Amino acid sequence: MNQKLSVYEIIEQKDEPISHTLSVILDDEPGALSRVVSVFTSRGYNIDSLTVSQVDEEKAVSRVTIVTKGGYAVIQQIMNLLDRLIPVYEVRDLTYEGPHIERALALVKVICTGEQRAAAQALADRFGAKTIDSTPESFIFEMADIPSKIEKFIGLMKPLGVSEVCKTGVTAIARGAEFISY
């Protein structure tokens, strides 16, 4: 006997965790970020990336961009909890809403000489990384791109002598005419 599933049962079956980019507009005040982070820590959810910047000094409003993994139900729960916080004006799931642009920044220090030096520079050029420091024994490359491309660049650069990596969190904005008002 074939049993029909409800919409909720279908969602639960397809509720595989994927990466979501959330954008949160909130008051720029002491403790606001701590309250946002506590929504995640109190329920055991991980934050993969977090960036914060003031977007309107006059109104004292900041934008928090959070990357986290979860299924539909988990992300909806997180968004509902964030939306209830006092300093929060708006919460958006950019991943769910449609096309958006994401970028992260990485600084990659490579210690190398000889042929490895030429290979490191060629690889950086191929990935569009900018050389921001160069000594006879080392390079520091700057790369701003989607996180997966940055990870690929770092992975290919490792055999050439990566000694240090510093990365920012992801920042994101929706494509097109839609915008988050504050």
Summarised one tens digit per residue, pLDDT across range 146-180 is: 999 999 999 999 999 999 999 999 999 999 987 88
Q: Which of 53, 68, 98 is the last residue of a domain?
A: 98
CATH of the domain at 93: 3.30.70.260
Summarised one tens digit per residue, pLDDT across range 22-54 is: 999 999 999 999 999 999 999 999 999 999 999
Cβ count within 10 A of residue 21: 23
Q: Is residue 139 part of a domain?
A: yes
Summarised one tens digit per residue, pLDDT across range 4-27 is: 545 555 455 566 889 999 999 999
Q: Which of 41, 72, 98 is the last residue of a domain?
A: 98
40, 47 in Cβ contact below 8 A?
yes
Same domain, 67 and 33: yes
Q: Is the pTM of this model over 0.85?
A: no
What element of type H or E holds 171?
A: strand 171-174
Q: How many domains does the chain have?
A: 2
Summarised one tens digit per residue, pLDDT across range 120-146 is: 999 999 999 999 999 999 999 999 999
**Tokens 């000889």 belong to residue:** 114
Continuous H helices in the chain = 7-13, 32-41, 72-84, 94-97, 115-127, 147-157
Q: Is residue 177 part of a domain?
A: no
Find the domain containing 150 and state its range. Answer: 101-172
